[in-house]
């Protein structure tokens, strides 16, 4: 599938990797639309792109809100060719807090929030977008942002489980819907140099991590876009999880 001229929907594109992907697909002459929870970030995307990127405010953990937003997108005459499931949150918490005298168990509320944002949203958005593609008999591509944490990362039970679920859905849908001309793949980044990474990790820890990465550096967002574009343009690629991690294996 050619990127230029295609309609690309990116979820959670207000900042970070999602915003970078939206801006890069826009620069590659795709018609980019965004679903983003933060209304202010939606407006900022519209302004910064001189109106080329259209953004709808939407809580991606709410299936009804997703249905309404996609209906509005369809009413605007936009038929989605590519879905990038990017929306997600990172949460780190041990299963049992051994040194705590109270609230020793992993937060149930945090577990549910991570699952709603990182896994439920992928299921909700993809099912509705794919239904539209099938109804219009259109070929399409779904790219979901996973993580190498899906292999199991100590202290990230909820996040690792959600991303493993994303990988499982990717494999399942590729087998289930390939005959209808739909392709599915996921990108599993390692440690990417973003403002959120810098905010979450100390410089000492980042330095230690870089020594564990065979390429001895953090990844950059350009590598994520290059991977997403490769998936879109390679019509024989489906059911694949691309690990973009500099050789780091968790």
Cα Rg of the chain (Å, integer): 18
Q: Are 142 and 126 in contact (CB under 8 A)?
A: yes
Report the SS3 class of residue 27: helix
Cα distances (angstroms) measured from residue 114 to each of 92, 96, 120: 10, 17, 9
Contact 146, 240 (CB under 8 A): no
Known catalytic residues are 159
Burial 141-177 (b: 16+ CB within 10 A, else e): bbbbbbbbbbeeeeebbbbbbbbbbbbebbbebbeeb
Cα three-residue angle 49-194-249, rounded to 5 degrees: 130
* Cβ 63 vs Cβ 88: under 8 Å: no
């Amino acid at each position: 599938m050619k990127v230029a001229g295609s309609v690309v929907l990116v979820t959670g594109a207000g900042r970070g990797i999602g915003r970078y992907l939206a801006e890069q697909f826009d620069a590659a002459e795709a018609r980019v639309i965004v679903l983003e929870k933060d209304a202010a970030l939606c407006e900022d995307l519209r302004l910064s792109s001189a109106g080329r990127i259209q953004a709808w405010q939407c809580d991606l953990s709410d299936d009804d809100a997703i249905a309404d937003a996609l209906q509005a997108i369809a009413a605007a005459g936009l038929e989605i060719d590519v879905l990038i499931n990017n929306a997600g949150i990172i949460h780190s918490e041990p299963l049992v807090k051994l040194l705590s005298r109270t609230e020793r168990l992993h937060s149930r509320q945090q577990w549910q929030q991570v699952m709603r944002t990182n896994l439920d949203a992928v299921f909700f958005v993809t099912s509705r977008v794919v239904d539209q593609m099938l109804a219009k008999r259109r070929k399409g591509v779904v790219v979901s942002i996973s993580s190498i944490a899906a292999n199991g990362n100590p202290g990230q039970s909820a996040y690792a489980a959600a991303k493993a679920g994303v990988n499982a859905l990717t494999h399942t849908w590729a087998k289930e819907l390939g005959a209808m001309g739909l392709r599915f793949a996921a990108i599993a980044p390692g440690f990417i140099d973003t403002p959120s990474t810098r905010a979450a990790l100390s410089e000492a820890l980042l330095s230690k991590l870089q020594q564990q990465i065979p390429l001895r550096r953090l990844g950059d967002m350009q590598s994520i876009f290059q991977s997403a574009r490769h998936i879109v343009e390679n019509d024989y690629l489906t059911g694949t999880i691309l690990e973009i991690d500099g050789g780091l294996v968790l």
